[in-house]
C-alpha cells in the first residue's frame, strides 16, 4: 500500500482506492478538519456526503425521519439513483414496513432460537482449525473462514449441502471480488443468480415448509396478507450476504491482526483478556462493512453543513471506529479494550439483526485457535478484496504450529 493521496484525489467510489492506498491519514484529516465532507462527482455518479465521526454516525443511523434507506444503503446502489429492492428488503426499507419485517425475522435470531445452530458452528469451527493445524500450512480465508459463516447462515436457511459451494462463489462476487478486473455486470449477474436460486427454494418451501428462515418468510403474513414473493426472495438474499461476507472478513482479519500484533495473540493465549472483550476489539479493528448510506429526506444541517433533500449521505464505520474522541489510542489493537463502543454492526433501527451470531462465530474461531494453535506465522502474501463497501482479505496463507499439549 502507498500513502494516501491528497484529500480531493481520494475516490471512494473506486474499489482500487481501498487496496492501493493507506487511508489512515485521510480519515484522520476528515475527522479533524472536515467531518462532513462533500465528495466530488465521479464517473460513477453524483457528489455525496462523507461523515467520518462517531457522533455523526450515530445521529444519522438513528434518524429515520430525516434519512431514508429505501434508495439504497451502500454507494454502489445509491450512486445509481435507486435500489430495486427499496422498501422490500430489510436493510433498504423504512418504517413502518421495516419494523414489521424486522419483528418477523427476529424470531429466528434470538440466542434461544439459535442455540442448536450455535452448538453446531462451534464444533465445525473447532474441527476446521484442528484440520488446518494438522496440515500445518493453510489459507485461513479459504480453509477456515470461508466455511463457518456460510455454513451457519445456510443452516438457518436450510440450503442443501450440495448447493453451498456455488452459493459461496456467488456471495463472493456480488458486492466484492477477489478479481481486480471485476465489473458491475459481474456483480449484477452473481446477484441475479442468487435471487433466482432463492426464488426456486422459496417456491418449494411454500408448498412443503421446513423449520427454517426461507419457510418462515415464504409462509409469513404481514398486515394480514402473505409476504409478496419478491420480498421473500430479496430478504433471503439479504440474509445470505449479511450472514456470510462480513463475518468471514472479520475472522480473517483477526488472524492478520495476530500476525501484525503478536503480543496481543500472546495476551489471549495467556488468558489475560476475556474472549468476549477480544471479540469486540476484533470487530472494531476489522470494521468489515466500511460504510452505510442514506438519502436525506429533507433539507437539513449536520455539523453546521447544509444538506439538501435527495442528497446521498454516507457514514463510515472504518473512520468512526477510530475516532479519537471516543477511543483511547484508536490506532492501537488492544484486545483488552473497554469500553468499546464500536459501530461495526451499525446503530439504531437498522442495527445488524445477525450481530449475536457474528459475535459467536468470531468467538468460536478464537476458541479453536486457543485449543489447537501455539504460534501463527505468515506463509506468503495476503490478497485483499476489491469493494467500495467491504474491506478485508480474500486470502491469508499461514503456518499454524500446534500447542505443546498437542505435540
CATH number of the domain within which 134 lies: 1.10.630.10
- How far, rounded to the nearest angstrom, does the alpha carbon of residue 346 sit from its chain's CA centroid? 10
Asked whether the beta carbons of 93 and 72 are under 8 A apart, the reply is: no
User: Which phi and psi (to 5°) does residue 352 adopt?
Assistant: -55, 125
Distance CA 341, CA 264 (A): 20
Counted domains in the chain: 1
Quote the pLDDT of residue 127. 97
Q: Which residues pair with 222 in a beta bridge?
A: 225
Distance CA 13, CA 79 (A): 9
Asked whether the beta carbons of 71 and 83 are under 8 A apart, the reply is: yes
Task: Judge if pTM exceeds 0.95.
Answer: no
3-state secondary structure 241-301: HHHHHHHHHHHHHHHHHHHHCHHHHHHHHCCCCCHHHHHHHHHHHHCCECEEEEEECCCEE
Distance CA 388, CA 390 (A): 6
Asked whether the beta carbons of 337 and 321 are under 8 A apart, the reply is: no
Which value, to the nearest 10 degrees, does the dihedral of the CA atoms of residues 215, 221, 227, 232 take?
-20
258 class by beta-carbon count within 10 Å (0-12 exposed, 13-18 middle, 19+ buried): buried
348 class by beta-carbon count within 10 Å (0-12 exposed, 13-18 middle, 19+ buried): middle
Distance CA 313, CA 294 (A): 5
DSSP helix/strand/coil, 87: coil
- In tens digits, the chain (407 residues) has pLDDT values of 555 457 888 999 999 999 999 999 999 999 999 999 999 999 999 999 999 999 999 999 999 999 999 999 999 999 999 898 999 999 999 999 999 999 999 989 999 999 999 999 999 999 999 999 999 899 999 999 999 998 899 999 999 999 988 888 888 777 666 767 767 777 778 888 999 999 999 999 988 888 889 999 999 988 899 999 999 999 999 998 888 889 999 999 999 999 999 999 999 999 999 999 999 999 999 999 999 999 999 999 998 999 999 999 999 999 999 999 999 999 999 999 999 999 999 999 999 999 999 999 999 999 999 999 999 999 999 999 999 999 999 999 999 998 765 44
Quote the pLDDT of residue 168. 81
Domain coverage including residue 110: 2-406
Quote the pLDDT of residue 404. 64
For residue 120, the surrounding DSSP H or E stretch is helix 115-135
To 10 degrees, what angle do helices 164-174 and 148-157 make?
Answer: 110
Distance CA 59, CA 80 (A): 25
Quote the pLDDT of residue 407. 43
Distance CA 292, CA 316 (A): 7
Quote the pLDDT of residue 181. 72
The DSSP letter of residue 158 is: T
Residue 133 has which C-alpha cell?
493445524
* DSSP labels, 13-62: T-TTHHHHEE-HHHHHHHHHH-SEEEEPPBTTB--EEEE-SHHHHHHHHH
Amino acid at each position: 500500500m502507498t500513502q494516501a493521496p491528497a484529500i480531493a484525489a481520494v475516490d471512494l467510489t473506486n474499489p482500487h482506492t481501498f487496496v492501493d492506498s493507506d487511508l489512515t491519514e485521510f480519515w484522520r484529516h476528515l475527522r479533524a478538519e472536515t467531518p462532513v465532507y462533500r465528495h466530488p462527482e465521479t464517473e460513477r455518479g453524483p457528489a455525496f456526503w462523507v461523515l467520518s465521526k462517531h457522533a455523526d454516525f450515530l445521529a444519522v443511523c438513528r434518524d429515520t425521519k430525516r434519512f431514508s434507506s429505501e434508495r439504497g444503503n451502500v454507494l454502489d446502489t445509491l450512486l445509481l439513483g435507486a435500489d430495486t429492492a427499496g422498501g422490500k428488503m430489510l436493510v433498504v426499507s423504512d418504517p413502518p414496513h421495516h419494523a414489521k419485517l424486522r419483528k418477523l425475522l427476529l424470531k429466528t435470531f434470538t440466542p434461544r432460537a439459535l442455540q442448536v445452530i450455535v452448538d453446531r458452528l462451534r464444533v465445525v469451527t473447532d474441527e476446521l482449525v484442528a484440520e488446518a493445524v494438522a496440515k500445518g500450512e493453510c489459507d485461513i480465508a479459504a480453509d477456515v473462514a470461508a466455511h463457518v459463516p456460510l455454513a451457519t447462515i445456510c443452516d438457518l436457511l436450510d440450503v442443501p449441502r450440495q448447493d453451498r459451494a456455488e452459493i459461496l462463489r456467488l456471495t463472493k462476487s456480488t458486492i466484492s471480488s477477489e478479481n481486480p478486473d471485476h465489473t458491475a455486470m459481474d456483480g449484477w449477474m452473481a446477484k441475479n443468480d442468487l435471487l433466482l436460486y432463492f426464488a426456486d427454494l422459496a417456491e418449494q418451501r411454500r408448498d412443503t415448509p421446513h423449520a427454517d428462515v426461507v419457510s418462515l418468510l415464504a409462509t409469513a403474513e404481514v398486515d394480514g396478507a402473505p409476504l409478496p414473493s419478491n420480498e421473500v426472495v430479496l430478504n433471503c438474499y439479504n440474509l445470505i450476504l449479511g450472514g456470510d461476507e462480513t463475518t468471514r472478513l472479520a475472522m480473517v482479519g483477526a488472524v492478520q491482526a495476530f500476525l501484525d500484533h503478536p503480543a496481543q495473540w500472546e495476551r489471549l493465549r495467556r488468558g489475560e483478556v476475556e474472549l468476549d472483550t477480544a471479540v469486540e476489539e476484533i470487530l472494531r479493528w476489522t470494521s468489515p462493512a466500511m460504510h452505510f448510506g442514506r438519502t436525506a429526506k429533507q433539507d437539513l444541517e449536520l455539523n453546521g453543513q447544509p444538506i439538501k433533500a435527495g442528497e446521498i449521505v454516507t457514514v463510515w464505520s472504518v473512520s468512526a471506529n477510530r475516532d479519537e474522541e471516543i477511543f483511547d489510542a484508536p490506532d492501537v489493537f488492544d484486545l483488552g479494550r473497554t469500553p468499546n463502543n464500536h459501530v461495526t454492526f451499525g446503530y439504531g433501527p437498522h442495527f445488524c439483526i445477525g450481530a449475536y451470531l457474528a459475535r459467536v462465530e468470531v468467538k468460536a474461531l478464537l476458541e479453536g485457535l486457543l485449543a489447537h494453535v501455539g504460534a501463527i506465522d505468515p506463509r506468503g502474501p495476503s490478497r485483499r478484496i476489491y469493494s467500495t463497501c467491504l474491506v478485508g482479505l480474500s486470502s491469508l496463507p499461514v503456518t499454524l504450529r500446534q500447542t505443546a499439549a498437542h505435540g
